[in-house]
Amino acid sequence: MSIGLPAHLRPQAVSRALTLAGHVAGLVCLIAAAGMVVAVQAANPQLILWPAVIALLPLIVMLAVLDRYRSMFFSVSYLIIGGASVYWFALTVMSEFEPLTGTDSFVLSLPRIALMFVGGVGVGIGASIAWCAIGLVIAEIAIVTAAVQTGVDLAPDGTSLSSFVGVVVALLLLGASQRMVRRAQPSIHRAARDEHLSTLRYGIEAKAAAVMHDTILGHLAAISAAPEGALSSDLQLQMERDLEILVGEEWLTVGSPAVDVQARAEWRQSQLFLAIQESRRLGLVVDISGDIAAAGRLGPARSSALGLAVKQCLINVLKHSGTDVAEVVVYGSGSDVSVMVIDSGRGFSETETGSDRLGLRQSVRRRMEAVGGEVQVWSSPGRGTSVMIRVPVPTGEGDTPLADALEVTL
Amino acid sequence: MIAREQTVQQSDPVGALAARSLTLLGCLGMVVYAIVMTVVNSADIDNVGVAIVGIGMIVGAATLIAVAANPLRAPLNRGVHIAAMGLGVFGLAFNAASMWQGNAFIRDDWGPPMLGFISLLMVPYRPPREIAILGALAAVFAGFVAALEVGILSTDLPVMIYVIIAATPVLAMSFGGAVFARAVLRMVHRWHSRASSAVSALANERKAGLARSVQQDRVTILNRDVVPFFAAVLERGGLLGSDRTRASEISESIRRLMVAEVDRSWLDLVVEQAAGATRGPATEAVHDPERLAVAMSTDQRTAVRAAIVAIFGHPAFEPRGFDVRISRTSAGYATTIRADFAAGEGGIRADLAPYLAVLRVVFSHLHADFGPPTLTVRFSYDKH
């Protein structure tokens, strides 16, 4: 978020930026002063003005050093070396250059201004003004000394004085204007932080909702669709696991991004994902949730069979259910991977299924049985259809279904 | 949304807003300086009419900048910069022309410092490179006019001296200003990257706590129905007919809750929290049936959040008179925030100005009107 500098860093930032700006303005003045000397020297070869240009070099070098290393030592050095340079410059110009009318000449204003922009150390408007004043006074002393030695008229220099006044006024106004920033900026930064945390919480809530959806709601749906009597061992196991997790474990611990990225890449290459993508292209809206990483644990044959079976289920949703929304939920357990395709469409009764339900029998059930899997269908007219496809995992690896499900969300 | 430029105003809107008083005083200073220097040099002026036209140009430039720097008109664009500098350049030319025959010194002409001044006034609003380039062009022009004048002046000095005298103030102020803007921008960016990592660190620190609290919320819901139900079914080891109905009921109630949660956007939560922190209405104040608030970027959400918190925190705010509406338009999504206040206009506008300035940067077409007692802020955005 580009919402600017916080109030506590502002005086430092403004002071640093002012120093840098002053150094550049000072450099322009010094180059201009050197340019003026060179111009006069070129027009009057009999004069010996070039030493004045040499006099400016230490000042330029010190300015560059000061710009790089802002410290008390270099600030004071700049003033001392700068004072000597200005004296040498003024002395050369005054003794060689006849048309110079007095100490208020523009060519002398320029190094004055350069010395004024020493910047110096210390934060705050007061420190900046003090350094400017010290620089200007040292330059003035150097120039007056040279003038006294060469007999040049003393005259107050309007250019450097008005520059000084301008800088001081700007600094004071800048200082006064920071009050509003001090008031508003902290709350804007707080808003940025709250926004970040709120986004984070929203993500965790979405994850929690997905987890709840994939487990509790899935199992509730399974119960409401199951026949009366004994509980299937699978369902019993899943409910027990749900309870364990609800009561005990930390649900929403966050997985490392590396795991997420890898799982996601595997998922995108799985036949299951391709099947879903294909049905999406046909116009079906498919919500995916659950342990997508589990799909990557299947070998090629099972993965392919699962992909084709799910595709057939999704095509059935499109063709028969009267809705264009389906959910695909992936569960992974140590021994198998289950995929549930759920729609809330018109549903059907097993006894009334005609030849058009061949797809479910052939493409789904037979295909899955061929790879050792099984298919369960729950449906009743008006209450949608859920197809659960279970495929065994080739080797007995991994056994943390729900915990994994919590790690990866889409 | 308007493309973001690398300017202080766009990167540090509150800072630029604070600089507004400086801008206004600077504009006034420009005009006063031009008048004072014209009076001081009145002996040199041989055409008063032309001199007045020159001052008029500066009045025009100052007015233009003062108006365009209004935060509600932000961002100040390149056109304003070019126009202001153009008026300044004409002002310089007219000023030089008014003294064509009798200019004693070029160094006390107001033209060159004025061009530098315009550059300085652009520091909060324009990119550093543009300030430097336009300043350099203006300096070339000032030097050129000075060179033309030299032919008339009685002097033995080389022309280059006058060119340097005219160009130096423009260059020094323009380059100095550009460096100032660049330094501030760099510090804002450096702070931004540091702040982002600090916020991420804070987020990581809080993540576990947030996860626990979210889990707690869920567990509270589930403990009520699901846990006893599952426990009973497992204990019995079999399903009764009533279990199937009960499972559907529980499932339905959980689904309803989830749907309600999904329907609430971050904006509902912000208003709810802001209202909770003070007094007053809850989320019915947010009218966003299509959940368009979700399409706002993080920057935009931050700006809206800060503004809403500031409105609710204002002592004169009347919590009953608050609503936010987001609707779809042909150009994007239009948002209107309405808030009633008990006090007069001046204080409220000034108090909320920093937040409006931030909104102005991240949204396009911001309009803020205060027709007592209601402040209406309108802005729009595109799909993120």
Among B31, B2, B1, B22, smallest CA distance to B123 is for: B22
Decide: A181 and A10 in contact? Cβ < 8 Å: yes
Q: How many CA atoms lie within 13 A of A31 on its CB side?
A: 13
Q: Chain B window 187-246: which residues touch A at a Cβ cutoff of 8 Å? A: 187-188, 191-192, 195, 199, 202-203, 206-208, 210-212, 214-215, 218-219, 222-223, 226-227, 230-231, 233-234, 237-241, 243-245
Q: How confident is the model at residue A81 (pLDDT cuts 50, 70, 90)?
A: very high
Q: How confident is the model at residue A349 (pLDDT cuts 50, 70, 90)?
A: low
Question: Bridge partners of B374?
Answer: B340, B371
Indicate whether B50 pLDDT > 50.
yes
pLDDT the model gives residue A380: 67
The answer to whether the CB atoms of B358 and A28 lie below 8 A apart is no
Q: Which of B4, B18, B191 sits opposite A9 (nearest CB)?
A: B191
Among A262, A258, A252, A250, smallest CA distance to A211 is for: A252
Least-confidence region, from B144-148, B164-168, B231-235: B231-235
A1-44, pLDDT tens digit by residue? Answer: 446 666 666 777 777 888 889 899 999 999 999 999 999 899 88
Nearest-by-CA chain A residue for B266: A198
Residue B44 per-residue DSSP state: G
pTM of the model: 0.67
Residue A4 per-residue DSSP state: -
Among A139, A119, A142, smallest CA distance to A131 is for: A119
Nearest-by-CA chain A residue for B241: A228
Indicate whether A341 pLDDT > 80.
yes
Strands B333-341 and B286-287: unpaired
The answer to whether the CB atoms of A196 and B219 lie below 8 A apart is no
The H-assigned helical ranges of A69-157 are 72-96, 106-116, 125-150
Of the two residues A401 and A39, the one the predictor is more confident about is A39
**Residue entry with tokens 């309870």:** A243
Indicate whether B57 pLDDT > 70.
yes
Domains for chain A: give ranges and CATH numbers: 7-176 (no CATH), 230-407 (3.30.565.10)
Average pLDDT, chain B: 83
Q: What was the ipTM of the complex prediction?
A: 0.74
The answer to whether the CB atoms of B107 and A106 lie below 8 A apart is yes
Rounded to whole angstroms, how far apart are CA atoms B276 and A263?
Answer: 41
Interchain contact B33–A (C-beta under 8 A): no
Rounded to whole angstroms, how far apart are CA atoms A260 and A279?
Answer: 25
Most confident range, picked from A21-30, A182-191, A277-286, B18-27: A21-30
Indicate whether A174 pLDDT > 60.
yes
Decide: B92 and B38 in contact? Cβ < 8 Å: no
Rounded to whole angstroms, how far apart are CA atoms B351 and B356?
Answer: 10
Which phi and psi angles does A409 have, rounded to 5°? Answer: -130, 160
Question: Quick check: helix, strand or coil at residue A214?
Answer: helix
Q: How confident is the model at residue B283 (pLDDT cuts 50, 70, 90)?
A: low
Among B44, B6, B297, smallest CA distance to B124 is for: B6
Residues of chain A positioned with their CB less than 8 A from the CB of B269: 198
pLDDT the model gives residue A395: 61
The pLDDT > 90 percentage for chain B reads 27
Least-confidence region, from A146-160, A171-185, A240-254, B137-151: A240-254
Indicate whether A257 pLDDT > 60.
no
Nearest-by-CA chain A residue for B9: A4
B307-338, pLDDT tens digit by residue? Answer: 998 888 888 888 788 889 998 888 788 899 99
Question: Quick check: helix, strand or coil at residue B340?
Answer: strand
Please report the DSSP string for A225-285 in residue order.
Answer: HSPSEEPPHHHHHHHHHHHHHHHSS-S-PPPPHHHHHHHHHHHHHSHHHHHHHHHHHTT-E
Buried b or exposed e, range A363-392, using 16+ CB within 10 angstroms: bbbebbeebebebbbbbeeebbbbbbbbbb
pLDDT the model gives residue A260: 54
Radius of gyration of chain A (CA): 41
Rounded to whole angstroms, how far apart are CA atoms B287 and A133?
Answer: 59
Rounded to whole angstroms, how far apart are CA atoms B93 and B79?
Answer: 21
pLDDT the model gives residue B182: 93
Residues of chain B positioned with their CB less than 8 A from the CB of A239: 230, 233-234
Among B89, B95, B93, smallest CA distance to B116 is for: B89
Residue B74 per-residue DSSP state: P
Decide: B211 and A254 in contact? Cβ < 8 Å: yes
Most confident range, picked from A220-224, B56-60, B216-220, B333-337: B56-60
**In this structure, which amino acid lies at residue A218?**
G
The answer for residues whose C-beta is within 8 angstroms of residue A115's C-beta and 6 or more apart is: A26, A59, A79, A82, A83, A86, A135, A136, A138, A139
Most confident range, picked from A286-300, A394-408, B144-158, B169-183: B169-183
pLDDT the model gives residue A58: 92
Q: How many CA atoms lie within 13 A of A299 on its CB side?
A: 9
Of the two residues A211 and B267, the one the predictor is more confident about is B267
pLDDT the model gives residue A358: 54
A275-326, pLDDT tens digit by residue? Answer: 888 888 777 878 777 777 777 778 788 888 888 888 888 888 888 877 777 8
The answer to whether the CB atoms of A223 and B238 lie below 8 A apart is no
pLDDT the model gives residue A372: 82
pLDDT the model gives residue A154: 86
Decide: B135 and B174 in contact? Cβ < 8 Å: yes
Q: How confident is the model at residue A258 (pLDDT cuts 50, 70, 90)?
A: very low
Indicate whether A188 pLDDT > 90.
no
Torsion of CA B259, B262, B267, B273, to 10 degrees: 70
Q: How confident is the model at residue A399 (pLDDT cuts 50, 70, 90)?
A: very low
Tokens for B240, please give them.
């009764």
